[in-house]
Amino acid sequence: MGRLTTHVLDTALGKPAAGMKIELLRHQAGAIAVLKSVATNDDGRCDAPLLADEDLLAGTYELRFHAGDYLKASGASLTDPLFLDIIPIRFGISDPAAHYHVPLLISPYGYSTYRGS
The model's pLDDT over 35-51, given as tens digits with 9 standing for 90+, comes to 999 999 999 999 999 99
Amino acid at 14: G
Q: Model-level pTM?
A: 0.96
Burial of 92 (0-12, 13-18, 19+ CB in 10 A): exposed
Binned at pLDDT 50, 70 and 90, residue 69 comes out as very high
What is each CA distance from 10 to 15, 37, 98, in whole angstroms?
A: 5, 20, 27
Rounded-to-10 torsion of CA 105, 63, 6, 34:
150
